[in-house]
Amino acid sequence: MGVKIKKDLAFRRVAGELFVVDSAKARLHELNGPAAVIWEGLTKGRGEAAIAAAMRGEFEVDARTALADIRNFTAELAAAGLLEESV
Amino acid sequence: MSIMRAAAKAPAACGRIGLKIAGFGFNFKSYSAGIISILEKRYGRFGVPGESGYDLEIVEARGSQTPFKPAVSFDGRTLELKRGDFEAVIDTRSRSGLVRVSPTEQCLDAFLRSLISFMLIRSGGFMLHSAGLVRNGKAYLFPGISGAGKSTLSKLAAGSGGGGVISDEINIVRLEQGRWRVYGSPFWGEMRADGRPGSWTLGGIYLLKKSAVNGISPCADAESYRTLLRCLVNFSSDAETAALALANTARLVSVYPAGRLEFSKETADFLRLIR
């Protein structure tokens, strides 16, 4: 069982940053470039390896660092209540 | 008390008032002389006799302001707006509805803000917590949260006679035929004016910063987008409306990159920088 972005969130990329609105909680989240790539990977249902590859394509980062960033950021998203379990 | 039962109790004399706000027409009717009187007094400058648009019957009811934040729901046809002191059910297809409100200016104001903010987002625009000024026939917006300087700037502009104030608290923007326009707003803050009807081409957007010296500098798109989103008025809690708000705001920022206005609260000299 993995995780995916929670339903009922609105988001849009502007000027390289991703803005996420959690209307139910009336909260606005702002994600930087690498975080936006991870977010967009999760919205497309991609796994860690695929997201890490996308990160390496956009940023100068090695695979190990990319995977660590994905795990850390995913934990942050979960803590913020922006993820749900995917079956 | 249900809305329908309250309507059935209506006495014979029915008052009517037509309003046009933000380009939307409203025909209000009510058997409550008190409500018609408040509407005439509060929004009279936006009055348009026989205006076509939404036909809304208003029924007087009692209630408290708790919960204070309006709840907005929309199923694609029926719009429901609810707060402790008002409740509205509006059929958007037939453009008719029934509104139950406490007979106070604050309650009617809250109801109209909820309704018009929803309609604006659905029609490509939005309400913005901002000061709005007219300079050389164009409207300039200064978005900011509480304490940013909206009322200070508006009072300075009004006092100087060099900048007509559209509102010191909430301004209305709409995209019409590919161009952004700012509409006169009846929703004011500290200045408590009754607003000026009309609309103006949007001339520019400036984020506010209080300073000892006046000046203008560029502002990054992400920062202006963030500020606009934080100042956007939206009471709806559904993702679809939020997505529309994000899209409308992105469209505005793509056409009007904001600047930053540093202004001194001592004089209205900053007006010379607005163009």
Q: pLDDT tens, A29-39?
A: 999 999 999 99
A11 close to B (CB below 8 A): yes
Q: What is the pTM of this model?
A: 0.91
Q: What is the DSSP letter of B246?
A: H
Please report, rounded to a whole number, the percentage of residues in chain A having pLDDT higher than 70. 98
What confidence score (pLDDT) does residue B173 get? 98
Asked if B207 contacts B259 with a C-beta cutoff of 8 angstroms, the reply is: yes
Q: Last residue of some domain: B121, B139, B156?
A: B121
Q: Residue B68 pLDDT > 90, yes or no?
A: no
What confidence score (pLDDT) does residue B195 get? 82
Q: Which of A74, A73, A41, A43 lies closest to A57 in space, CA to CA?
A: A41
Mutate to test the interface with A, among B73, B145, B226, B233 (most CBs of A within 10 A): B226
The total number of structural domains in chain B stands at 2
pLDDT tens digits for range B193-250: 778 899 999 999 999 999 999 999 999 999 999 999 999 999 999 999 999 999 999 9
Phi/psi at B49 (5° precision): -60, 135
**Mean pLDDT across B169-180:** 96
B255 close to A (CB below 8 A): no
Residue B269 sits in the same domain as residue B182: yes
Residues in chain B within 8 Å Cβ distance of A14: 221-222, 225, 250, 253
B window 229-248, beta carbon within 8 A of A: 229-230, 234, 236-243, 245-247
Residue B224 sits in the same domain as residue B201: yes
Q: Residue B110 pLDDT > 90, yes or no?
A: yes
B253 close to A (CB below 8 A): yes
What confidence score (pLDDT) does residue B10 get? 53
Q: Residue B4 pLDDT > 70, yes or no?
A: no
Across the interface, of A8, A14, A21, the residue whose CB is closest to B250 is A14
| DSSP string over A31-84 | E-HHHHHHHHHHHTT--HHHHHHHHHHHSS--HHHHHHHHHHHHHHHHHTT-EE
Residue B93 sits in the same domain as residue B13: yes
Residues in chain B within 8 Å Cβ distance of A26: 237
What confidence score (pLDDT) does residue B32 get? 93
Q: Which residue has the higher pLDDT, B192 or B253?
A: B253
pLDDT tens digits for range B98-107: 999 999 999 9
Across the interface, of B229, B237, B240, the residue whose CB is closest to A19 is B229
Residue matched to tokens 């705001």: B249
Residue B32 sits in the same domain as residue B68: yes
Q: Last residue of some domain: B121, B146, B167?
A: B121
Q: Residue B6 pLDDT > 80, yes or no?
A: no
pLDDT tens digits for range B118-158: 999 999 999 999 999 999 999 999 999 989 999 999 999 99
What confidence score (pLDDT) does residue B25 get? 96
Residue B185 sits in the same domain as residue B265: yes
- Give B98→chain A minimum CA distance, Å: 26
What confidence score (pLDDT) does residue A85 get? 84
Residues in chain B within 8 Å Cβ distance of A10: 239-240, 242-243, 245-246
What confidence score (pLDDT) does residue B1 get? 45
Residue B66 sits in the same domain as residue B190: no
Residue B152 sits in the same domain as residue B247: yes
Residue B18 sits in the same domain as residue B94: yes
Cα–Cα distance, A56 to A11 (Å, whole number): 23
Q: Which domain holds residue B191?
A: 125-273
Q: Which of B250, B168, B167, B269 lies closest to B212 in space, CA to CA?
A: B269
Average pLDDT, chain B: 92
Phi/psi at B128 (5° precision): -135, 125
Cα–Cα distance, B199 to B46 (Å, whole number): 12
Residue B113 sits in the same domain as residue B170: no
User: Quick one: closest CA in A to B219, which residue?
Assistant: A15
B251 close to A (CB below 8 A): no
A79 close to B (CB below 8 A): no
Helix axes B239-255, B105-122, angle to 10 degrees: 70
User: Quick one: closest CA in A to B229, which residue?
Assistant: A28
What confidence score (pLDDT) does residue B143 get? 98
- Give B71→chain A minimum CA distance, Å: 11
Q: Residue B3 pLDDT > 60, yes or no?
A: no
Q: Do B239 and A9 touch (CB under 8 A)?
A: yes
Residue B102 sits in the same domain as residue B227: no
Residues in chain B within 8 Å Cβ distance of A21: 229, 239, 242-243, 245-246
Q: Residue A7 pLDDT > 50, yes or no?
A: yes
Q: Last residue of some domain: B121, B138, B155?
A: B121
A19 close to B (CB below 8 A): yes
User: Quick one: closest CA in B to A16, which residue?
Assistant: B222
- Give A33→chain B minimum CA distance, Å: 12
